[in-house]
Chains A and B, each alone.
Chain A
Amino acid sequence: MIPASPPPARQNDVWQRWAGTPVTALISALSAAFAIWAAWAVLDWAVLSATLPHRPMQACAETDGACWRFYVEKSRFMLFGTYPYAEHWRPALVSLLLLALSGIVGLRITGRLRVIGPRVLVALWILVIPLAFALMGGGWAGLAPVDMSRWNGLPVLLILSVIAIALAFPLGVMLAVLRYQDRWPVLRRAATVYIEAVRGVPMVTVLFVGVFVLPLTLPPDTRISPVLATLIALVFFHASYFAEDVRGGLQSLPDTQAEAAHSLGLNWGQAMRLVLLPQALSRSLPALVNSVIGAYKDTSLVVVLGIHDLTSTARMAFSEPGWGQYALEAYAFVGIWFLLSCAFLSWVGRELHRGQSGRNH
Chain B
Amino acid sequence: MMQDFRSQIDGKRPDWLGIGVVGLVLAGVGVLIVNIFVNMQAAGMTPGYGFLAQTAGFDLSESLIPYTAGDSYGRVIVAGLLNTILLAVVSLMLATFVGVMMGLVSVTPSPAGRMVATLYVELFRNLPKILVLLVLYVLAVRGLPPSREALSLGPVYLSNRSIYIPTIVPDAGQVWLLAPLAASALAAVWWVRRARRIKAATGRESPVAIIVIALLLCVPLGFALLADVPLEISAPSFERFDYEGGARLSVQFLVVMLTLGLYHGAQIAEVVRGGILAVPSGQVEGALALGLSRGHVTRFVVLPQVLRIVIPPMINQFVNLIKNTSIAIAVGYSDLMSVSGTIINQTFRPLEMMLVTMGLYLGLSLIASTLMNRLNDTLRSRGARRGS
Shortest Cβ-Cβ A-B pairs, 4 listed: A186-B18, A212-B350, A217-B32, A342-B126
**Whole-angstrom distance between the alpha carbons of A166 and B362 in the complex?**
27
Known: A200-B362, A205-B357. 19 other contacts (CB 8 A): A18-B109, A28-B112, A180-B2, A181-B4, A187-B21, A202-B326, A204-B327, A204-B337, A208-B354, A217-B35, A271-B2, A276-B2, A300-B130, A304-B327, A311-B128, A327-B142, A331-B138, A338-B126, A342-B125
A–B pairs, 29, beta carbons within 8 Å: A16-B109, A18-B112, A20-B109, A24-B113, A27-B112, A31-B116, A35-B116, A180-B2, A184-B18, A188-B18, A190-B22, A190-B25, A202-B325, A203-B323, A204-B327, A205-B354, A212-B350, A213-B350, A216-B39, A217-B33, A297-B127, A300-B130, A304-B130, A304-B341, A327-B138, A327-B142, A328-B135, A331-B134, A335-B135
Contact of B388 with A by CB under 8 A: no
Number of chain B interface residues as a range = 35 or more
**Whole-angstrom distance between the alpha carbons of A192 and B84 in the complex?**
27
Residues of A within 8 A of B38 (CB): 219-220
Which residue of A205, A209, A343 is within 8 Å of B326 (Cβ)?
A: A205
Contact of A127 with B by CB under 8 A: no
Task: Judge whether B111 and A311 touch: CB under 8 Å.
Answer: no
**Whole-angstrom distance between the alpha carbons of A259 and B21 in the complex?**
27
Contact of B153 with A by CB under 8 A: no
Residues of A within 8 A of B2 (CB): 180-183, 250, 258, 271-272, 276
Residues of B117-145 whose CB lies within 8 A of A: 117, 119, 123, 125-131, 134-135, 138-139, 142
Task: Judge whether B128 and A208 touch: CB under 8 Å.
Answer: no
Chain A binding surface, main DSSP class: helix
Residues of A326-341 whose CB lies within 8 A of B: 327-328, 331, 334-335, 338-339
Contact of A32 with B by CB under 8 A: yes
Which residue of B22, B113, B130 is within 8 Å of A28 (Cβ)?
A: B113
Residues of A312-361 whose CB lies within 8 A of B: 315, 327-328, 331, 334-335, 338-339, 342-343, 346
Contact of B210 with A by CB under 8 A: no
Q: A17-B111, A27-B105 are in contact. Are A204 and B329 (CB under 8 A)?
A: yes
Contact with B along A12-27 (1 / 0, CB 8 A): 0000111110011101
Which residue of B127, B135, B326, B351 is within 8 Å of A339 (Cβ)?
A: B127
Task: Judge whether B112 and A35 touch: CB under 8 Å.
Answer: yes
Which residue of A20, A31, A219, A342 is within 8 Å of B105 (Cβ)?
A: A31
Contact with A along B305-343 (1 / 0, CB 8 A): 000000000000000000111110110000001001100
Q: How far is the CB of A55 from chain B (nearest CB, A)?
A: 23
Task: Judge whether A315 and B134 touch: CB under 8 Å.
Answer: yes
Contact of A303 with B by CB under 8 A: yes
**Whole-angstrom distance between the alpha carbons of A328 and B136 in the complex?**
10
Task: Judge whether B112 and A31 touch: CB under 8 Å.
Answer: yes
Chain B binding surface, main DSSP class: helix
Contact of A268 with B by CB under 8 A: yes
**Whole-angstrom distance between the alpha carbons of A328 and B357 in the complex?**
33
Q: A31-B115, A212-B354, A217-B33 are in contact. Are A338 and B127 (CB under 8 A)?
A: yes
Contact of B241 with A by CB under 8 A: no
Residues of A within 8 A of B4 (CB): 181-183, 268
Contact of A34 with B by CB under 8 A: yes
Residues of B338-361 whose CB lies within 8 A of A: 340-341, 344, 350-351, 354, 357-358, 361
Task: Judge whether B3 and A182 touch: CB under 8 Å.
Answer: yes
Contact of A1 with B by CB under 8 A: no
Task: Judge whether B112 and A32 touch: CB under 8 Å.
Answer: yes
Which residue of B116, B330, B340 is within 8 Å of A303 (Cβ)?
A: B330
Contact of B232 with A by CB under 8 A: no
Residues of A within 8 A of B18 (CB): 184-188, 190
Task: Judge whether A202 and B351 touch: CB under 8 Å.
Answer: no
Number of chain A interface residues as a range = 35 or more
Residues of B within 8 A of A24 (CB): 108-110, 113
Closest to A33 in B: B112
Task: Judge whether B7 and A183 touch: CB under 8 Å.
Answer: yes
Q: A27-B108, A185-B15, A303-B330 are in contact. Are A216 and B35 (CB under 8 A)?
A: yes
Task: Judge whether B326 and A216 touch: CB under 8 Å.
Answer: no
**Whole-angstrom distance between the alpha carbons of A16 and B110 in the complex?**
9
Task: Judge whether B1 and A182 touch: CB under 8 Å.
Answer: yes
Q: How far is the CB of B129 from chain A (nearest CB, A)?
A: 7
Instruction: Count A-B pairs with CB separation below 8 Å.
Output: 198
**Whole-angstrom distance between the alpha carbons of A34 and B110 in the complex?**
14
Residues of B within 8 A of A35 (CB): 112, 115-116, 119
Task: Judge whether A304 and B350 touch: CB under 8 Å.
Answer: no
Task: Judge whether B130 and A311 touch: CB under 8 Å.
Answer: yes
Task: Judge whether A212 and B7 touch: CB under 8 Å.
Answer: no
Q: How far is the CB of B26 from chain A (nearest CB, A)?
A: 9
Task: Judge whether A186 and B350 touch: CB under 8 Å.
Answer: no
Q: A212-B354, A216-B36, A297-B127 are in contact. Are A17 and B115 (CB under 8 A)?
A: no
Which residue of B7, B135, B138, B365 is within 8 Å of A200 (Cβ)?
A: B365
Contact of A301 with B by CB under 8 A: yes
Residues of B2-34 whose CB lies within 8 A of A: 2-5, 7, 15, 17-19, 21-22, 25, 32-33
Residues of A within 8 A of B138 (CB): 327-328, 331
Q: A187-B22, A217-B33, A219-B35 are in contact. Are A258 and B130 (CB under 8 A)?
A: no
Contact of A255 with B by CB under 8 A: yes
Closest to A24 in B: B110
Task: Judge whether B327 and A301 touch: CB under 8 Å.
Answer: yes
Q: How far is the CB of A164 from chain B (nearest CB, A)?
A: 15
**Whole-angstrom distance between the alpha carbons of A208 and B357 in the complex?**
10
Contact of B178 with A by CB under 8 A: no
Residues of A298-313 whose CB lies within 8 A of B: 298-301, 303-304, 311
**Whole-angstrom distance between the alpha carbons of A327 and B325 in the complex?**
24
Which residue of A28, A190, A303, A328 is within 8 Å of B110 (Cβ)?
A: A28
| Best-buried of B112, B115, B350, B366 by chain A (most CB within 10 Å) | B112
Contact of B201 with A by CB under 8 A: no
Q: How far is the CB of B329 from chain A (nearest CB, A)?
A: 5
Which residue of B110, B326, B361 is within 8 Å of A27 (Cβ)?
A: B110
Q: A27-B113, A180-B2, A276-B2 are in contact. Are A338 and B131 (CB under 8 A)?
A: yes
Residues of A within 8 A of B112 (CB): 18, 27-28, 31-32, 35
Q: How far is the CB of A26 from chain B (nearest CB, A)?
A: 9
**Whole-angstrom distance between the alpha carbons of A262 and B6 in the complex?**
10
